[in-house]
Amino acid sequence: MKKIILEDKKILVTGAAGFIGSNLCKRLLNDYQNTYIIGLDNMNDYYDVSLKEYRLDSLNKYNNFKFIKGNLADKKLINEIFDEYKFDIVVNLAAQAGVRYSITNPDAYIESNLIGFYNILEACRNYPVEHLVYASSSSVYGGNKKVPFSTDDKVDNPVSLYAATKKSNELLAHSYSKLYDIPSTGLRFFTVYGPAGRPDMAYFGFTNKLINGETIKIFNYGNCKRDFTYIDDIVEGIIRVMQGAPEKKIGEDKLPIAPYAVYNIGNSNPENLLDFVSILQEELVRAKVLPSDYDFESHKELVPMQPGDVPVTYADTTPLERDYGFKPNTSLREGLRKFATWYNEYYK
């Protein structure tokens, strides 16, 4: 593995106003003084744009951060940005997210996750970088029965278009790594949560509904397990991976061996949805988001599985521990406590 120093580097972070992207930028700006970060985001309205603006506001305070509003699918713009800044490292976190939305709005996924990612790969080919790190997803495992999910498992049976686009990203990255010797690392994230997260995620959506006195739907009658991973653990994992690129090597055929890797970043501790809802309720009461006498039982509905969903996600993170000495370890209660506290402050 090739060691990369993050000081004095030009780094592109796409999806910089997103949940993971904004947290990554903030951490890089705080920890690496002479690092210059360009953040790209199209600020789309898939969820409340004011939340994206709130995240961006905290980044715009830094002198070594520059924000560009633009679309990954705009090839001319992407090439211009690469030509101007000559990036050392690219972290591609921009994507149309969400499994359920991909069923009703497939176009957004093809544009952002396929065409957009292709444009990034082309730019990395024409303006070589030390390391391309990109977001994949635990959804690539589909309905795999074998748990925990290992990056050695076959992932040829996606159950949603979102999952199919993420698997496609890994295939495209591999071919570009092989053809053009681009060091690339894909990260399969498992159910990321935390303060200022995505409102379309269960913990956030449930909170909004409970406050409005609406009923929350618990899918598969509560028999789902999710490997919830706290945002700070995800960011720590990304930063560790950024600093170690797959080694460039020449094979027996005198051609490059693809400098390509994929890792899981998950908590390796799947939580039952009903237990998750109980902890969330307790922490919302504790943070005074909801009154202590709130009648939770009357606001819960157990419903069947949804199309595109899977019963369990569970990360095997052994390779991440082996290669980067890191394992996510924030407990669900600790993470949800931080979310509930933030929620109370943000929405007053």
Contacts of 130 (CB under 8 A, 6+ apart): 2, 4, 88, 89, 183, 245
> Which pLDDT score, from 0 to 100, does residue 298 have?
92
For residue range 239-262, what is the model confidence (pLDDT) as tens digits? 999 999 999 999 898 888 999 999
Predicted pLDDT at 2: 95
Is the alpha carbon torsion for 246, 247, 253, 255 positive or negative? positive
Of 102-116, 139-153, 299-313, the one with minimum mean pLDDT is 299-313
pLDDT at 67: 98
**Is 162 part of the annotated catalytic residue set?**
yes
Residue type, 290: L
Of residues 308 and 291, more confidently modeled? 291
Yes or no: say if 136 and 301 are a contact pair by the CB < 8 Å rule: no
According to the model, what pLDDT value does residue 311 have?
82
Share of the chain above pLDDT 70, in %: 100
Tens of pLDDT, residues 55-114: 999 999 999 999 999 999 999 999 999 999 999 999 999 998 877 788 888 999 999 999
Q: What is the pLDDT of residues 178-209, one digit of tens each?
A: 999 999 999 999 999 999 999 989 899 999 99
Pairwise CA distance, residues 218 & 202, whole Å: 9
Residue with tokens 């809802």: 277
Say yes or no to pLDDT of 144 above 90.
no
d(CA 144, CA 132): 28
**Pairing status of strand 256-257 against strand 249-250:** antiparallel
Cβ pair 237, 299 in contact under 8 A:
no
CB 207 within 8 A of CB 283: no
Predicted confidence (pLDDT) at residue 284 exceeds the cutoff of 90: yes
Rounded to an integer, what distance in angstroms lies between the CA atom of residue 84 and that of residue 69? 16
The pTM of the whole model exceeds 0.75? yes
The pLDDT of residue 314 is 92
Please report the pLDDT score of residue 307 as a whole number.
78
**What's the CA gap between 220 and 295, in Å, rounded?**
22
Q: Does pLDDT of 322 surpass 90?
A: yes
- Asked if residue 228 has pLDDT above 90, the reply is yes
What tens digit of pLDDT does each residue of 159-185 get? Answer: 899 999 999 999 999 999 999 999 999
Q: What is the pLDDT of residue 253?
A: 87
Q: How much is the average pLDDT of 280-301?
A: 94
Pairing of strands 271-272, 225-226: antiparallel
Query: Rounded mean pLDDT of 215-243?
Result: 93
Q: In this structure, is the dihedral angle defined by the CA atoms of residues 18, 2, 136 and 109, taken in order, positive or negative?
A: positive
The catalytic residue among 46, 162, 260, 343 is 162
- Provide the pLDDT for residue 310: 80
Would you give the DSSP letter of residue 112? I
Residue listed under structure tokens 């030009």: 10
Given this model, what pLDDT does residue 343 score?
Answer: 97
Give the domain ranges of the chain: 2-193+228-269+313-329
Say whether pLDDT at 137 is over 80.
Answer: yes
CB 187 within 8 A of CB 136: yes
Neighbour tally for 240: CB within 10 Å = 16
Whether 309 shows a pLDDT value over 80: the answer reads no
According to CATH, what is the number of the domain 2-193+228-269+313-329?
A: 3.40.50.720
Give the per-residue pLDDT at 145.
Answer: 86
